[in-house]
Every structure is written in structure tokens, then in C-alpha cells.
């Protein structure tokens, strides 16, 4: 049995893949029915559902016997036999259609070996029948399609599918409220009729077989593509979509099958004439299928779960809930602001004329890139310049290395936190709070003008207090040179761009040295044996404020020179923008220095605990 | 028109015992100069140089010169992570420095994980041997060790510049080859390899390609 099953699947077309779900559902359904998800499933699976409707009917019929205990089934010979007979009939009738499902149903209803064998036989014939006679399906399909069209004449071809799908969702068991919405289209009759189906009626199998192609037809309609798209977009909205679910969803989506509108349209024309006579019978079939649609969907759901069962049952229960949400969302999204889906149908028909999304995106991207490039070129001379000079003087990499150190210290502190408790923890927290307090930078920008001597003095005292071997000699000598250059610069020779360039260079170099020495200070503090946290924090605050005020002084000295230039010059505007840029870079420099200082705080904290 | 001054930036780290000559090697490589006396490195220092690989691609090497001193060991470890290449440096005239190479190598491996850096084994102070100094590590022994671990091996002199260029070039070429084969990729959050950025012409004043000084004697 098993081996023959797998053989079938391998040789199967999409119908067979579908059958897989069906089969699984039949077996699992007894164990855990999946009532809630039916509606959700409906939205996703409907296009696919058609081939299996007949099976459902059979199953429904058999389900009566299923509900009984095995003994009862056995004792009630007439009943079980009845179903058996029906199954056989069904098998015969389904030879050109989705027979495999039927056999599954038969297997489920009657658990006797004999019956199973019968199923096997029937299946074999079915498979061949499918292969030989593919055209039959499409023919019937289109006949039925016309029948659907009759229900809603005003709409185009795409309409019936959607309606059918909604119908499924609206079927009595799951969503009675939705029924009303559709009742005006005459659908409600089917629902009332659906009860009839429960009664085993061999005569009906004929109709069921007709039904089958129609359902299949739906799957070929454009709806499936809307649905799968909607499903995808909805799934992104649903946070609870699990890995397992997405697997399930993709399986379903892939099994939906690609529509071949052109082919369908052709056959449609051909069959159009022969239709009217069949409409009534097809309606009848539709009723039946409606009634059974639900169980069909249920079995689909459980069939899916069977597939995934081996991986994890948890995933399924979560996944089914999500599927339900997806189904609901899908319908919501599809129908949003578009009652009756009129717009969507129109959209589907106009597919050839709509703009290609990827093209639109590509154009947008190209435009953005061009704008970006233009902007870059404009700012290059200013922005990149500062940063590249800063980088060339190893400012960036020192900052980065300091960052690494800082992170390391943070991690160690974190470990310390986790490993200590009680009083020890309290003590650490207190210490750290104190360090933070000590490390607060004064808010007000002191715009005092430091002379070179004052600068030297302040830096020297701060370094001394820090008690590590760092030096700002390089910074001081550089600033000396700059001041000298500024005092002697011949403004009649030096143009504003040159002045601006010099200013940016000076700022970048001063900052690079400052950051480098902060980095060194951090490294040396970390390997220092004895710490005086208050002194360290104090001196680093002192260093930071001194260095940032030096940056301020440098910026204002350069801008003074620039201003001299602006007075005599006609292009005042460009000079002003250059001055603005100098102050902008000075602000940049200050924030780099302050960042470096903040990165040192964990280092000081490490020394304190 | 904007022209990129380098296509890639590789971060290489130099590790090895103190006083083997890491800083001198780098100074020669980036400056073409040799200093008879130099202060021990504090923590880490940085050097940079632009070189070209065989197909003309311009690579900026960002060189991390770590302190060899034991007291900085815990700090320098935290700098390993973002390196794409590591030069294991030893002193040809200092047996112990060579014997510590396996330790340095496994340290680097451990800290650079999950990335797999290009390693090179670099012997320093070749000029001392030429001048009658006492060689403590034979070329064969070092070569055997290098072959055993799949490293590139070279003996250099930062004083006369012998093989200095080759040491860095081989590592750079190997890293570049691994990019070409797809083994190395540019990743966010890892700074071992970066793509270069463009700069306006004429403004890359500080990063001109250093002219390797001519090696005078051997």
C-alpha cells in the first residue's frame, strides 16, 4: 500500500500532489479535527480545492459510518456496504478525474482489507486514465465555468472564481454571517441543499464527477495568483509566522498551479455552445460541493499537518492559527475598499497595460543614485577632506581601537555585575555611580582664550595628575606652528580656500593627536597597578575641556582671518560658507574628543572596582 | 572627476615578542627609514601604506603594530579581531622569540575566529647575521615550521630593507587572492577588509605610495 502510494505521487501531476493532502487529512482527521482553521484554509486553498471536492462528498458520505464505532460499522452491514458500493462507483466514474482521493476516502470509511485492495485497483486505473485523457478535464471545466458565469452575468470571467471562494468561506459551518452578504446572489440555496449530501446517494456520484472539473477550473483562474500574492504580503504582516508555517504555506502555494489563461480561453470558446443544458446539473453539483467544501478544506489542513507532523506538532498548532489569520487577512486585504472585488477583477484583466513594478523601482533607484552622486561631488572638497585627514593621522583608527578597549571593559564590568551579589554588588554600583558623577563634563562652553602658556600648563598638570606616560608635546608643538603661521600669513597672497584648507587640516590633526593620546591613556590606565580614580577622572575631564576649548580657539582664529578676507572680497557669500564649514568641523572635532572621553569612562570604572 | 585612491583596505596585525623589531619593520615599510633607537610600543600603534597587487588593484594596508611587552598582552588581544592578516614576527638572533611563535599563532587564531587570517612568518634582523652576529634560528628550521603550518616565510632586515617589501606584499597578495576566490568577503561589522572610498584628486597628500628604499648591501 505504502509503496504504491509513493509511486503514484512520483508520477503525479498537480492533482496528485493535492491528493497527498487529502490522504493525510483523512488519516489525521480522526485524531485531531481542525475546525477553526477551515475558514482560514479556505482563502488560501480554494483555488486548489476543486479536484478534491468530489472526494469530500464521498468522505462526507462515509463519514457517517466513520462516526460510528468500528463494531457498529461492521454490524450495520447495509450501511457499510452501501458506502462501499458507492466508493466503487465513484472510482469508476473518476477514472478520468481526481480518482486517487476517492480511493483514500474509501480507505478511511471502511477499514477492511478488501476495500483497500479495491481502492488500489481503482487507483491504478485512475492514474492511467488521467494521463490518457487530459482534455476531458478542461472541457468540463469550461462548461462549468459558463454555468458559474450565469450566476453573475454582469461580471467578467475572473469573477466566478472569487465568488466561489468566498462562497466556500461563507459556507454554513464556518461563517454564517458572511452567508448573508452573498445570499442575494442565490447562493444560499446551495447551503440549505447541502444537507442532502449527507445522505449516501449513489446516484449523486455522477454529479460529483461533473463538479470536479469545475473546481479545477477555479484553480486555473487568476484568483490563485491574487491569493498567493496576498498570502505573501499578509504573512509579512503576521508576526507569528513560524518557519514551519512558511514551509506549509509555500507548499500550498506551489501546489496551486500556474494558470494558463490562453489555453483556457480557447477551450472556453469551443465549449461555450454546449453549455446551457448542463447549467442546471452543474448548479446542483455546486450545491453538493459547497456542502462538502468545508470538510474538504479541513482535510486539506490536516493533510498539510500530516506533512509537517514529522518535524513538529507544535509548529502545526501555531501554524494553523497563523494560517487562519492569514486566510482572514487575505480576504480582508483582497476586499479592502473593493467590495465584490470588482477592482481586482478589472486589474487582472488589464494586466498587460499596468506598469512593471521592477521597472519603476529600477528607475527610482537610478534617480536616487544620480542625486546622491551629485550631492557627493558637491560636498567632497569639504566633508571628506576633514575625515580623510583625520584618518591619515590615525585619528579614526585610534578612536576605533579605543572603542574596542571600552567594549572590553564594559563586558568585564558586566561579568563582575553578574558574578557578585548582595553588599558587594551594591558597593560596585555605588562606585560606578560615583565614577559617572566624576566624569560629567561641564556643560557650559568656556569661550576663554587660552594663551599658549596656559595651554601647556593645563595639559601638563592634567597629564601629571593622570599619572600615566602620555604626552601632548606633539599637539603643543603643532599648535605653536599653527599660531606662528596664522600670525605671519600674508593675506594678500593666501586666498580663502587655502586658509580654509589650512584650518580644516589643523583641526583634523589636533583632534587626531588628542584622540590618540586618549587611547594611549586608556591602555596605560588598564595596565596600571594602583588607581586613584578621582584623580584620573578629574584629569581626563580637564584634558577634555582643555582640548575642546583649544579646538574652539583654533576655529575662531582661522575664521577671524577669513573675515579679514571677506571684507575686501566680492564673493562674501562663499567666504561665509567656508567659515561656517570651519565651525562645523570644529564641532565635529569637539565631539570626537568628547566621544573619546566617554569611551574612557568604562576604563576608569574598571580601575575603580 | 573623483578617483578612488584605493580599492580595498586590509587590516594586518603584527605580533611577536617584544624587541623583535615589529615597529622597526613597519617604520621601514611605511617610511623607508630605520631608527637605531626606538621606544617600546605602548598598546598599539598604527601605520598605513598603499601598495598594488599584481593586477594593479590598489590596496591600503592598515597596519596594527602591537606592543610585545607582556604587560600589554591582555590589551593587545582585544585588537586582534578585525584583522585579515597576521605577521608573526621573530628575531633571527633570539631563539626564544621563535619558540613563542606557536603561542602567538594560536592566540591570533583564537581571537580572530570565526575569520581565518592569512599568516606569515617573518624573521627580523637579518642584517645582524650578515654582520657576523649569532644566528639562533636557522632559515631551514623556520621554513620547515612555516611549511608545516602553511605559512609564508621570509627573513628581513629593517635596517637595509631586505625583503621588507616582500613580507607585506606576499600577505597582501594572498588576502587579495582569497577575495578573488570568494573565500573572503566584505562583511558589515568586520573591518578586516573594507572597500576603498573615493577622494578628490590631489588631496591624498599623506598617503602617497612610499618608495621602498634601495637595499644597499646584503
pLDDT tens for B77-133 read 989 988 999 999 999 999 999 999 999 999 999 999 889 999 999 999 999 988 888
Q: What is the mean pLDDT of chain B?
A: 87
CB atoms within 10 A of CB A83: 26
- Following DSSP, what letter does each residue of A557-603 receive, concatenated? HHHHHHHHHHHT-S-HHHHHHHHHHHHHHHHHHHHHHHHHHHHHHHH
d(CA A380, nearest CA chain B) in Å: 7
Distance CA A505, CA A482 (A): 10
Q: Strand B198-199 relative to strand B3-4: parallel, antiparallel, unpaired?
A: antiparallel
Q: What is the mean pLDDT of residues A285-291?
A: 48
Q: What is the mean pLDDT of residues A543-572?
A: 85
pLDDT digits (tens, 9 = 90+) for A499-537: 888 999 999 999 999 999 999 999 999 998 888 888 999
d(CA B158, nearest CA chain A) in Å: 22
* pLDDT higher than threshold 50 for residue A540: yes
Does residue A448 come out as left (phi exceeding 0), alpha (psi in the -120 to 50 range) or beta? beta
Residue A466 touches partner B, C-beta closer than 8 Å: no
Q: pLDDT-based confidence at A375, cuts 50/70/90?
A: low
Provide the pLDDT for residue B6. 86
Distance CA B57, CA A105 (A): 69
Interaxial angle between packed helices A113-132 and A77-93, expressed in degrees from 0 to 180 and rounded to the nearest 10? 20
Distance CA A54, CA A209 (A): 7
d(CA A323, nearest CA chain B) in Å: 35
* pLDDT higher than threshold 70 for residue B191: yes
Restricting to A residues 350-389, those with a Cβ less than 8 Å away from any Cβ of B are: 376-377, 380-381, 384-385, 388-389
Q: pLDDT-based confidence at B44, cuts 50/70/90?
A: very high
Look at A394 and B81 and tell me if their CB atoms are within 8 Å. no
Counting Cβ atoms within 10 Å, is residue B173 exposed (0-12), middle (13-18) or buried (19+)? middle
Provide the pLDDT for residue B195. 86
d(CA A595, nearest CA chain B) in Å: 19
Of how many residues is chain A composed?
609
d(CA A359, nearest CA chain B) in Å: 29
Look at B43 and A520 and tell me if their CB atoms are within 8 Å. yes
Element (DSSP H or E) covering residue A608:
helix A572-608
Which residues on B lie below 8 Å from A407 (Cβ)?
78
Provide the pLDDT for residue B106. 94
CB of B84 closer than 8 Å to CB of B115:
yes
Q: Which of A380, A388, A397 is opposite residue B62, by nearest beta carbon?
A: A397
Q: pLDDT-based confidence at A607, cuts 50/70/90?
A: confident
Chain B residue with the nearest C-alpha to that of A405: B78
* pLDDT higher than threshold 80 for residue A288: no
Q: What is the DSSP letter of B55?
A: T
* pLDDT higher than threshold 60 for residue A175: no
Torsion of CA B164, B170, B172, B175, to 10 degrees: -150
- The CA-to-CA distance between both ends of chain B, in Å, stands at 45
| Longest CA span, chain A | 118
Q: What is the mean pLDDT of residues A128-157?
A: 43
Distance CA B42, CA B31 (A): 20
Q: Which range among A195-204, A530-539, A546-555, B153-162 shows the weakest confidence by mean pLDDT?
A: A195-204
Mutation target for B interface from A379, A404, A506, A517: give the one with most B CBs within 10 A. A404
Provide the pLDDT for residue B47. 94
CB atoms within 10 A of CB A112: 14
Provide the pLDDT for residue A60. 44
Look at B46 and A385 and tell me if their CB atoms are within 8 Å. no
Q: Which of A380, A389, A523 is opposite residue B2, by nearest beta carbon?
A: A380
Chain A residue with the nearest C-alpha to that of B73: A527
Q: What is the ipTM metric for this complex?
A: 0.85
d(CA A258, nearest CA chain B) in Å: 37
CB atoms within 10 A of CB A450: 18
Q: Which of A377, A388, A519 is opposite residue B2, by nearest beta carbon?
A: A377
- pTM equals 0.54
Look at A389 and B206 and tell me if their CB atoms are within 8 Å. yes
B145 or A119, greater pLDDT: B145
Q: Which of B42, B71, B200 is opposite residue A520, by nearest beta carbon?
A: B42
Q: pLDDT exceeding 90 applies to what percent of chain A?
A: 19
Q: pLDDT-based confidence at B210, cuts 50/70/90?
A: very low
Q: What is the mean pLDDT of chain A?
A: 64
Distance CA B111, CA B118 (A): 14
Beta carbons within 8 Å of B199's beta carbon, 6+ residues apart? A380, A384, A388, B2, B3, B4, B5
Write out the three cell numbers for A605.
Answer: 570604572
Amino acid at each position: 500500500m505504502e509503496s504504491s502510494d509513493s509511486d503514484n505521487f512520483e508520477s503525479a501531476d498537480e492533482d496528485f500532489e493535492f491528493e497527498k493532502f487529502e490522504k493525510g487529512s483523512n488519516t489525521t482527521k480522526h485524531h485531531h479535527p481542525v475546525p477553526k482553521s477551515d475558514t482560514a484554509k479556505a482563502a488560501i486553498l480554494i483555488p486548489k480545492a476543486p479536484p478534491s471536492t468530489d472526494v469530500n462528498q464521498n468522505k462526507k458520505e462515509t463519514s457517517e459510518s466513520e462516526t460510528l464505532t468500528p463494531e457498529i460499522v461492521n454490524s450495520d452491514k447495509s450501511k457499510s456496504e452501501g458506502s462501499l458500493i458507492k466508493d466503487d462507483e465513484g472510482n469508476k466514474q473518476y477514472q478520468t478525474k481526481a480518482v486517487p482521493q476517492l480511493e483514500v476516502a474509501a480507505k478511511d470509511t471502511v477499514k477492511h482489507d478488501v476495500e483497500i485492495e479495491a481502492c488500489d485497483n481503482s487507483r491504478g486505473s485512475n492514474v492511467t486514465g488521467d494521463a490518457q485523457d487530459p482534455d476531458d478535464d478542461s472541457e468540463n471545466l469550461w462548461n462549468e465555468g459558463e454555468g458559474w458565469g450565469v450566476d453573475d452575468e454582469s461580471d467578467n470571467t475572473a469573477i466566478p472564481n472569487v465568488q466561489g471562494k468566498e462562497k466556500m468561506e461563507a459556507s454554513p459551518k464556518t461563517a454564517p454571517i458572511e452567508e448573508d452578504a452573498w445570499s442575494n446572489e442565490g447562493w444560499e440555496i446551495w447551503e440549505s441543499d447541502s444537507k442532502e449530501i449527507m445522505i449516501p446517494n449513489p446516484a449523486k456520484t455522477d454529479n460529483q464527477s461533473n463538479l470536479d472539473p469545475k473546481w479545477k477550473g477555479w484553480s486555473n483562474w487568476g484568483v490563485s495568483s491574487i491569493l498567493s500574492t496576498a498570502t505573501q504580503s499578509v504573512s509579512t504582516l503576521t508576526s507569528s509566522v513560524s518557519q514551519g508555517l512558511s514551509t506549509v504555506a509555500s507548499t500550498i502555494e506551489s501546489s496551486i498551479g500556474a494558470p494558463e489563461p490562453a489555453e483556457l480561453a480557447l477551450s472556453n470558446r469551443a465549449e461555450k455552445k454546449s453549455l446551457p443544458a448542463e447549467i442546471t446539473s452543474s448548479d446542483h453539483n455546486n450545491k453538493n460541493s459547497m456542502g462538502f467544501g468545508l470538510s474538504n478544506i479541513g482535510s486539506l489542513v490536516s493533510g498539510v499537518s500530516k506533512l509537517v507532523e514529522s518535524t513538529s506538532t507544535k509548529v502545526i498548532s501555531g501554524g494553523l492559527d497563523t494560517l487562519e489569520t492569514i486566510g482572514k487577512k487575505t480576504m480582508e486585504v483582497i476586499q479592502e475598499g473593493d467590495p465584490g472585488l470588482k477592482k481586482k477583477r478589472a486589474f487582472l484583466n488589464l494586466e498587460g497595460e499596468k506598469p512593471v513594478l521592477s521597472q519603476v523601482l529600477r528607475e527610482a533607484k537610478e534617480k536616487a543614485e544620480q542625486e546622491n552622486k551629485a550631492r557627493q561631488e558637491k560636498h567632497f572638497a569639504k566633508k571628506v577632506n576633514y575625515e580623510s585627514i583625520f584618518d591619515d593621522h590615525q585619528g579614526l583608527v585610534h578612536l576605533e581601537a579605543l572603542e574596542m578597549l571600552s567594549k572590553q571593559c564594559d563586558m568585564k564590568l558586566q561579568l563582575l555585575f553578574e558574578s557578585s551579589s548582595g553588599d558587594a554588588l551594591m558597593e560596585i554600583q555605588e562606585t560606578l555611580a560615583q565614577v559617572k558623577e566624576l566624569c560629567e563634563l561641564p556643560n557650559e562652553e568656556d569661550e576663554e582664550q587660552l594663551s599658549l602658556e596656559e595651554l601647556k600648563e593645563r595639559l601638563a598638570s592634567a597629564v601629571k595628575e593622570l599619572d600615566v606616560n602620555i604626552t601632548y608635546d606633539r599637539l603643543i608643538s603643532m599648535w605653536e606652528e599653527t599660531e606662528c603661521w596664522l600670525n605671519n600669513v600674508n593675506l594678500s597672497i593666501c586666498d580663502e580656500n587655502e586658509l580654509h584648507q589650512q584650518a580644516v587640516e589643523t583641526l583634523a590633526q589636533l583632534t587626531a593627536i588628542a584622540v590618540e593620546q586618549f587611547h594611549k591613556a586608556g591602555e596605560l590606565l588598564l595596565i596600571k597597578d594602583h588607581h586613584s580614580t578621582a584623580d584620573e577622572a578629574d584629569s581626563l575631564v580637564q584634558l577634555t575641556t582643555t582640548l575642546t576649548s583649544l579646538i574652539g580657539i583654533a576655529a575662531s582664529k582661522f575664521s577671524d582671518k577669513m573675515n579679514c578676507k571677506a571684507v575686501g572680497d566680492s564673493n562674501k557669500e562663499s567666504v561665509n560658507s567656508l567659515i561656517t564649514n570651519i565651525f562645523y568641523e570644529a564641532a565635529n572635532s569637539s565631539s570626537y574628543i568628547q566621544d573619546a572621553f566617554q569611551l574612557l569612562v568604562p576604563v576608569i570604572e574598571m580601575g575603580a572596582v | 572627476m573623483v578617483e578612488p585612491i584605493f580599492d580595498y583596505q586590509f587590516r594586518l596585525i603584527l605580533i611577536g615578542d617584544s624587541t623583535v623589531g615589529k615597529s622597526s619593520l613597519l617604520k621601514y615599510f611605511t617610511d623607508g627609514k630605520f631608527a637605531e633607537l626606538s621606544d617600546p610600543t605602548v598598546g598599539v600603534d598604527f601605520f598605513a601604506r598603499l601598495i598594488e597587487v599584481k593586477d594593479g588593484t590598489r590596496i591600503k594596508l592598515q597596519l596594527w603594530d602591537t606592543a610585545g611587552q607582556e604587560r600589554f598582552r591582555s590589551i593587545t588581544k582585544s585588537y586582534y579581531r578585525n584583522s585579515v592578516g597576521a605577521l608573526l614576527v621573530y628575531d633571527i638572533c633570539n631563539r626564544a622569540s621563535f619558540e613563542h611563535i606557536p603561542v602567538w599563532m594560536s592566540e591570533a587564531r583564537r581571537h580572530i575566529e570565526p575569520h581565518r587570517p592569512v599568516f606569515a612568518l617573518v624573521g627580523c634582523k637579518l642584517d645582524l647575521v650578515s654582520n657576523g652576529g649569532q644566528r639562533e634560528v636557522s632559515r631551514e628550521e623556520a621554513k620547515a615550521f612555516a611549511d608545516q603550518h602553511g605559512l609564508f616565510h621570509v627573513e628581513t632586515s629593517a635596517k637595509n630593507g631586505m625583503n621588507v617589501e616582500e613580507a607585506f606584499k606576499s600577505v597582501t597578495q594572498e588576502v587579495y587572492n582569497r577575495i578573488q576566490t570568494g573565500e573572503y568577503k566584505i562583511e558589515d561589522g568586520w573591518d578586516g577588509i573594507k572597500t576603498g572610498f573615493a577622494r578628490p584628486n590631489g588631496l591624498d597628500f599623506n598617503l602617497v605610495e612610499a618608495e621602498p628604499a634601495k637595499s644597499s648591501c646584503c
